[in-house]
Amino acid sequence: MLGIIQLWCKKGQFKNSNIGETIAFGLMKLSEYLDAEEHLLPHGTGLNLDSAWFKIMYVLYTDGCLLVTYHKAALQIKSLRVGNEARWLARVVELVATRNNLVTMKLLECRCWDSYQAVQLIMKSLYLLKVLVFSLHSVETFSSFGFARVALTALIQVTSSTLAVIPTIRAECARPNKAITEENEAELSEEILREALDDKIRALTFIWNYLMTSPKSKTLLTILKRDYGEELNRINSSATKADIQIFLLPQAEEDDMANCPDRLLDGVTMSVMESPVLLHKSQVTVDESTLVYLLLQKSPQCPFTRTPLHHDSFCRLPDLQQEIHAWRKEGSCSHHEQFEDVSLT
């Protein structure tokens, strides 16, 4: 069916049409059953849907057919009543990141494709991550505290795996004469591969620059700096070792856990919460992002009691949230005063 849709699926085909929204609904639901390795990689052991899936997703996004899905998902996350749309979006973003990891792993371990083909596969992942998460219509949906980790985890995975293969591809530039046509007649020049690599680096840079500069990604950036410090340091180290100047990474701003009261900590992750939620059955408090992660599962359960999670089994704690913000503000002021004292000495 995807192959048939792909044949007449062109940019602008679904604008002002209910057909596009119907296809978007079906494609999102299909994504629930897709396996990244079996279905979304060339030469997979099963049915290869790679080209059709990516092309249709691209056209649906550019024609605005995913706006309804984004809107419904945002409302579901905001109300903590996660439905199909939120689960589908999370699944699609997860598929993109997993697929990219598989491409880079197979290139490094068993050379399933030549470097040019691998670069093209990675470019698809980068572009789809860009339009699905880090673009004008999508970033607001993923900027809620509950959904932000879905986007940031995918970004960290895609960035790390992409950086890992750049040295290998650069080395390939010194060994041209790789065939890129089915007939094995055309030779891949160093310039073609280098240009493809540069395109990949620019695509990755665009995503990070958008995250760093867009007002709509402020929440994402805040959570990234506070909760992904170790990952940021690892990415920065990989980029430095490979002599890759891709982007200016944000500086980690981790909380001072030594002085944090236990009541401000997530009962699962043991990190400082942003938007606390009480699980009624267990009487344990977790962050909204942890709860949303649990709700995105097919059969959501409380991790402490194994009882089903539904909209009546938890509640937000606005007073505790204000206490957390006050604690963070006090810690920020103390850090600023210490910095001034050091500067004066």
What does the alpha-carbon distance between residue 188 and residue 141 come to, in Å, rounded to a whole number? Answer: 41
Could you give the count of Cα atoms lying within 13 Å of 212 in the half-sphere of its Cβ?
A: 12
Quote the CA–CA distance of 241 and 206 in Å, as a whole number: 21
Q: Assign 316 to helix, strand or coil.
A: strand
**How much is the pTM?**
0.82
CA dihedral 92→209→223→321, nearest 10 degrees, is -110
In angstroms, the CA 345 to CA 340 distance is 9
∠ Cα 155 159 165 (to 5°)? 150
pLDDT digits (tens, 9 = 90+) for 160-183: 998 888 888 877 766 655 444 444
What is the token pair recorded at 103? 């491409």
Give one DSSP letter per residue of 259-303, joined into a string: G--GGGB-TTT-SB-SSEEEETTTTEEEEHHHHHHHHTSSS-B-T
Each residue's pLDDT tens digit, 76-111: 999 999 999 999 999 999 999 999 999 888 888 766
3-state DSSP assignment of residue 306: coil
Per-residue pLDDT of the chain (345 residues; tens, 9 = 90+): 565 665 566 677 777 668 878 888 888 888 888 888 888 887 644 456 777 888 888 888 888 888 888 999 999 999 999 999 999 999 999 999 999 999 888 888 766 667 778 888 899 899 999 988 998 878 889 988 778 989 999 999 999 998 888 888 877 766 655 444 444 444 445 677 778 888 888 888 889 888 888 888 888 888 888 788 888 888 888 888 777 765 566 666 666 677 889 999 999 988 899 899 999 999 999 999 899 989 998 889 999 999 999 889 999 999 999 999 999 888 755 544 443 443 333
